[in-house]
A and B are shown apart, each in its own frame.
Chain A
Amino acid sequence: MHDFRKLVAPNRKQDPREREIVGELACHLEEMYMEFRRGGASEETAFALVSTAGKDLGPTIRRLRWEGEVGLRTWLRAVVLPGLVLALFYGVCNSALGVYWEYPTLWREAGLVLASVALGFCASSFSRELGGRKTHRLWASAIVISFQTIAECVMIFLVTPVELSRSAHYFSGVFSACLWILLWDVVVPLVALIIGSLISVSAFPPVVRAATVKGTAA
C-alpha cells in the first residue's frame, strides 16, 4: 500500500495536531485511491490521479491548523508577527525621511503619511495571509507604530518631566511642543496606517473557499 501521509506532507516535521490533520487528509486520498481502483484504474494510474489531487496541500494544512487555534497564539501569529515585521520597515522609512529632511517639513510629514498608508496596507495583507480576521488585521497595522509610540511616550512622559524639573520656566513651550510631536509622530501615522489597513480589508476580504460548480467557483 502507498504511504499517503508522505503524499500529503513530505518532509514536514509534525506536532500531534498536525499529525492528526495529515492523517485525516491521507485517509481522504486513500479513499480516493481505492475508488479509482474499484473503477478499474491500474495501481499506477490511480496513484498518479491521487497524487495530482494531493499536490500542494501545504496551505490547506496551515489553514486547518489555524482553524483550531485560539487566543494568544492567533494574536501572536496574525497580529504581533506582521506588525513587528512592518515596524522595522516603518523605522527604516522614518529614518530615511529624517536623513533627507533633517528638520520636520511638510514634505517629510507627507512622505511619512504615504509610507504609513502603504505599510498599513502591507501589514493588513500579511496578517490576512497568516489567517488574520478583520480585527487582527487592524491591530497588526496599529502595531507597526508601536516602537515609535513607546519611544515618544518615554520621551514625553519620563524624560521631559525630569528635564523640566531642572528648568521650570520653559514649561508652557515644552508642553505644546510635546503635544505637537505626539500628534505628528504618533496620531497622524496611526490614522494613516489604519486607512491603509482598511483599504486592504476592502480590497482583500477573508479567504473563503467553497464548492466548485461545474468547474467555476461558486
Chain B
Amino acid sequence: MNRLDSKVKQGSSEVIILTLLSKRDMHGYEIGKQIEELSNGVLRFEMASLYPALYRMLQKGWLEAHWETSPAGRKRRYYRLTKNGRRQIRPLRRSWQQFLGALNRIARLQNA
C-alpha cells in the first residue's frame, strides 16, 4: 500500500505540472499558484513538495529550466516542457483516468 501510495503521489504531481506547462512557461511560484487556483484551493503544493517534483522532472528530461529577468528587474527561473515531456502527457493522463475511473466504480458499488 505504501509503495502504491508514493507512486500515486509522484504521478499526480507529474501529470498536473506537465499539463500546466503545456500551455505556457511558468516559474515555480506561478505553478503552485495555478494549481491552487484551478483546483479551487483543494490542492496546495508547498515548496518542499513542488520543487523536488520539478527537479525530478528536469532530471528525467521532461522539463528544461532557464533564468529570465522581468521588466521590473526580477530574475525568475522558468520551466518549459521538452518534447519528451510533451510525449508523457497523454499516457500519464490515460493511466490517471483509468485509476480515477476504478476508484469511482468502487465508490459507487459501496454506496449502492
Answer whether A68 and B49 are a contact pair too, CB < 8 Å, given A28-B28, A28-B29, A218-B9.
Answer: no
Q: Is B103 part of the contact surface with A, judged by Cβ < 8 Å?
A: no
Most B-side CB within 10 Å, residue of A202, A209, A212: A209
**For chain B, which range describes its interface: under 10, 10 to 19, 20 to 34, or 35 or more residues?**
35 or more
- Restricting to B1-34, which residues have a CB under 8 Å from any CB of A? 2-3, 5-6, 8-10, 12-13, 16, 27-30, 32
**Majority secondary structure, A binding face:** helix
On whether the beta carbons of A211 and B29 are closer than 8 Å, the reply is no
- With a CB–CB cut-off of 8 A, which chain A residues contact B29? 27-28, 31-32
Chain B residue at minimal CB-CB distance from A20: B77
Within the assembled complex, what's the spacing in Å between the Cα atoms of A30 and B56? 23
Q: Which of B38-46, B89-97, B104-112 contacts A (4 or more CB under 8 A)?
A: B38-46
Q: Which residues of B contact A (CB under 8 A)?
A: 2-3, 5-6, 8-10, 12-13, 16, 27-30, 32, 35, 42-49, 51-53, 55-56, 58-59, 74-77
Q: How far is the CB of A50 from chain B (nearest CB, A)?
A: 11
**Majority secondary structure, B binding face:** helix
Give the tally of cross-chain contacts (CB within 8 A).
Answer: 92
Answer whether A211 and B12 are a contact pair too, CB < 8 Å, given A27-B28, A28-B28, A28-B47.
Answer: yes
On whether the beta carbons of B9 and A209 are closer than 8 Å, the reply is yes
Q: Which of A58-66, A138-146, A151-159, A171-179 contacts B (4 or more CB under 8 A)?
A: A58-66
Chain B residue at minimal CB-CB distance from A69: B59
Q: Is A53 part of the contact surface with B, judged by Cβ < 8 Å?
A: yes
Q: How far is the CB of A113 from chain B (nearest CB, A)?
A: 27
Q: Is A57 part of the contact surface with B, judged by Cβ < 8 Å?
A: yes
On whether the beta carbons of B3 and A67 are closer than 8 Å, the reply is no
